[in-house]
Amino acid sequence: MKKLVLSLSLVLAFSSATVAFAAIPQNIRIGTDPTYAPFESKNSQGELVGFDIDLAKELCKRINTQCTFVENPLDALIPSLKAKKIDAIMSSLSITEKRQQEIAFTDKLYAADSRLVVAKNSDIQPTVESLKGKRVGVLQGHHPGDVR
> What residues form DSSP beta bridges with 86?
none
pLDDT tens for residues 62-102? 999 999 999 999 999 999 999 999 999 999 888 888 999 99
pLDDT at 107: 87
pLDDT at 134: 85
* 3-state secondary structure at position 40: strand
**Per-domain residue ranges for the chain?**
23-112
pLDDT at 51: 94
pLDDT at 60: 95
Q: Which amino acid makes up residue 6?
A: L
Report residues of the chain scoring pLDDT below 50.
Answer: 1-19
Residue closest to 146 by CA, chosen among 41, 40, 75, 71? 75
Mean of all residue pLDDT scores within the chain: 82
Fold entry, domain 23-112? D-Maltodextrin-Binding Protein; domain 2 (3.40.190)
pLDDT at 136: 78
